[in-house]
Amino acid sequence: MLTLIGKRLVQLVPTLFFVSVIIFSLQQLLPGDPALIMAGEERDPAVIEQIRRQYRLDQPVPVQYLYWIKGVLTGDLGESMRLKTSVGDLIIQKLPVTLQLATMAMVIALVIGISAGIISAVKKDTVWDYAVNVLALWGISTPNFWLGIMMIFLFAVTLGWLPASGYVPLWEDWRQSLATTIMPAFVLGNAIAGVIMRHTRSAMLQALQSDYVRTARAKGLAERRVVLKHAMRNALTPVITLGALEFGTLLSGAVLTEQIFTIPGFGKLIVDAVFNRDYAVVQGVVLVTATTYIALNLLADIGYILVNPRLRS
């Protein structure tokens, strides 16, 4: 396992280098001039020139990249041109919000998706199987913005059980924090649960037809033990991969859901940065997201080994 981790960490360096080059290069293709946006309506030429010099926008693109990557290597992701705040500080402010929302959504997705997938596989070609498949199809095909609006109308406007929008940090009031994030977390987890259910069902059907499951049944083991200990453990490999990728997507920010519920996370941050041509914020958030994806893939590989002893060799 240590060898695997070492190899992946070595691969991390060139991967992040190419990612940083792509991020910086594509950023330059965005239409508009950030200096003109920051200068305001008057657009004094002297002010515009000062902005260009301050943020090195008057330098060639390769030179700008070298300055940026040098700062990244020293822990400095730059400064937001619009907010006049360190990008690192902005990410630190928004990361707990997105992390809480993503974790809650992933827990909901895993509980619903894995449970439904196991039931569907065990009860194949029964009413339970058809019902679970319909539920999964509903989750995958339902637009997040529509489900979010409907939940606000039902639970906030009609019943008055939950707040319609806003966010309260977990460390300030955990009850109110859960109340403000449970609806957006369910909206995000609902779609992922459908995908996880389909993958779990497929993997479980294959595992239940394998030789080791037939051997376990021939030994007289209880069906619940056969399903949960022998079949499910070997069927979790594709679910781990999917879960890692989906969790990375959630951490990158759910734009529509955060906008509907007014959650100040990564999604709102990067949308505002793109519209305002705030290059440093976009680059910093995307780089952090890419690093998170790579780290989650490494954790997924480790998870394979933990759940499937045959891969340890």
pLDDT tens figures, 137-156: 888 888 888 888 898 998 98
Return the pLDDT at 108. Answer: 92
Provide the CA 149 distance to its chain's centre, in angstroms.
21
3-state helix, strand, coil in the chain (%, to 5): 75, 0, 20
Contact 151, 186 (CB under 8 A): yes
- Give the domains, in start order, of the chain with CATH numbers: 2-73 (no CATH), 94-312 (1.10.3720.10)
Quick: pLDDT tens for 204-239. Answer: 888 888 777 777 778 777 777 778 777 777 777 778
Whether the predicted pLDDT of 91 surpasses 70:
yes
pLDDT at 38: 66
Check whether 189 has a pLDDT greater than 70.
yes
The pTM (predicted TM-score) of the whole model is: 0.79
Q: Which residue has the tokens 């759940």?
A: 307
74 burial type by CB count under 10 A (0-12 exposed, 13-18 middle, 19+ buried): exposed
pLDDT for res 62? 83
* Mean pLDDT within 152-175: 85
Evaluate if residue 4 carries a pLDDT over 70. Answer: no
Overall average pLDDT of the 278-301 stretch:
81
pLDDT, one tens digit per residue, over 43-62 is 667 777 777 777 777 777 78
What is the spatial distance between Cα 106 and Cα 204, in angstroms, rounded to a whole number?
20
Please compute the mean of the pLDDT values over residues 174-198 and round it to a whole number.
88
For residue 81, is pLDDT > 80? no
Q: Is the pLDDT confidence value at 127 over 80?
A: yes
| pLDDT of 131 strictly over 70 | yes
Predicted confidence at residue 107, as pLDDT, reads: 92
